[in-house]
Amino acid sequence: MITVGITGGVGAGKSEVLKYIAGRPDCEIMVADRFAEELEMRGNVCYEPLVSLLGEDVLSNNLEIDRKRMSFLIFSNPSLLAKVNDIVHPAVKTGVIKRIEELKAEGLKSFFFLEAALLIECGYKEILDELWYVYADEETRRKRLKASRGYSDEKVDKILASQLSDAIFTANADFIIDNSGNLENTYKIVDSRLKSYKI
Could you tell me the domains of the chain?
1-26+110-194 (3.40.50.300), 37-101 (no CATH)
DSSP string, 14-52: HHHHHHHHHT-TTEEEEEHHHHHHHHTSTTSTTHHHHHH
Mean pLDDT of 109-135: 93
Residue 21's CB is within 10 A of a number of other CB atoms, namely 21
How far from the centroid of its chain's Cα atoms is residue 153's Cα? Answer: 24
Cα–Cα distance for residue pair 173/176, rounded to 1 Å: 7
Helix (H) or strand (E) holding 2: strand 2-7
At 168-183, the pLDDT tens digits run 999 999 999 999 989 9
Residue 59 is classified by DSSP as B
**CA 27 to the chain's CA centroid:** 16
DSSP alpha helix (H) spans, 107-164: 138-149, 153-162
Handedness of CA 197, 191, 34, 144 (dihedral sign): positive
User: Residue 82 burial by CB count (10 A; 0-12/13-18/19+): exposed, middle or buried?
Assistant: exposed
Residue 148: predicted pLDDT: 83
19 against 147, higher pLDDT: 19
Q: Which residues pair with 134 in a beta bridge?
A: 177
The residue-averaged pLDDT of 59-76 equals 90
The per-residue pLDDT of the chain, averaged, comes to 92
Q: Measured between alpha carbons, how far is residue 117 from residues 6, 71, 96, 109, 147 in Å? A: 9, 16, 14, 24, 21
pLDDT reading at 13 higher than 80: yes
pLDDT at 199 over 80: no
pTM: 0.89
Q: What is the pLDDT of residues 75-99, one digit of tens each?
A: 778 899 999 999 999 999 999 999 9
